[in-house]
Amino acid sequence: MRRQRRSARALRPRDWGWPGFILGLALASAGITVADWQSPLRGVVVFAFLVLCPGMGLVRLLGLRDALAELALGVALSIALTTIVASLFMYAGFWSPLAILLALLAISIGGALTQVRLLSRPASS
């Protein structure tokens, strides 16, 4: 028998907290870098993206319910992922900061969108 499809749960504003932050920072970093915007703010935005977004995009999927653990793991994983992705590009003989940024954007945005998708999933009865 076909299961009846249930409608997605409406997201509350607070559900958008981290996913929105990650998406905003990722898009801002991409825009700033592509436009080569020279401003002290560029350093702050890009630095925040690099140390938070790739990791938080993935760590939040685990639903650890421990803010300190999530934040610390998010930072550690962000830096570790950036190190590994950038090193892979280097050892592959294809050093391109823009390509590395694209890979990190994919991880961050993919993680954030998956968080939104999981949050909007109807609770199983």
Partner 1 sequence: MKPPRKPVPVKVVRAPTRPAQIASPARLLLAGSQVILMALALLVWERGLHTIDLTAMNDLGLVSVLPWTFFAALGLLTVSFCLGLRQRVPAAPLPLLHLLALILILYGTPSLIEEVPRFESVWKHVGVSEYISRTGAIAPEISAYFEWPGFFILLAFGTELIGASDPLGLAMWFPTLINLCFLAAVLLILKAGTQEPRTIWLGAWFFSITNWIGQDYLSPQALSYFFYLMVIAVLLGWFKAHPVAAPPDAARIEPAAARRWPHQLRRWLAAPEAVSNKASNVGQRVGLLAIVLTILAAIIASHQLTPFVAIGSLAALALVGRIKPRSLPLLLAVATASWLSFMASAYLTGNAAGLIGALGQVGSAVDENVTNRLRGSPEHIAVIYSRLTMSVAIWGLALLGGLRLLRQGQRPVTFALLALTPFFLIIAQPYGGEMLLRVYLFVLPFMAFFAASAFYGSPRAGRTWATTIAIAMVSITLLGGFMITRYGNERADNFTASEVAALRQFYELAEPDSLVMTVAENMPFRFRRFEQFTYQLWLAQLETEGIDQLVARLEQGDYRQRYLILTRSQRAAAELLYGLPPGEWDRFSAEVQASPRFRAIVATADVQAYLLVDERGGGRP
Among 1, 36, 123, 124, binds partner 1 (CB under 8 A): 36
The interface region with partner 1, picked from 12-20, 37-45, 105-113, 115-123 by CB under 8 A, is: 37-45
Nearer to partner 1, 13 or 40 (CB): 40
* 94-103 contacts at long range (C-beta below 8 A, 24 or more positions apart): 98/33, 98/34, 101/29, 101/30, 101/33
Give CA–CA dist 21/53, Å, rounded: 8
Query: What residues have CB less than 8 Å from 113, skipping those under 6 apart?
Result: 19, 23
Q: Is 26 in the site for partner 1 (CB under 8 A)?
A: no
Query: Tokens in use for 72?
Result: 């610390």
Per the CB < 8 A criterion, the answer to whether 2 and 88 are in contact is no
Nearer to partner 1, 8 or 118 (CB): 118
| Contact footprint for partner 1 (CB under 8 A) | 29, 33, 36-38, 42-43, 46-47, 50, 58-59, 61-64, 66, 68-69, 71-73, 75-77, 79-84, 86-87, 90, 95, 97, 100-101
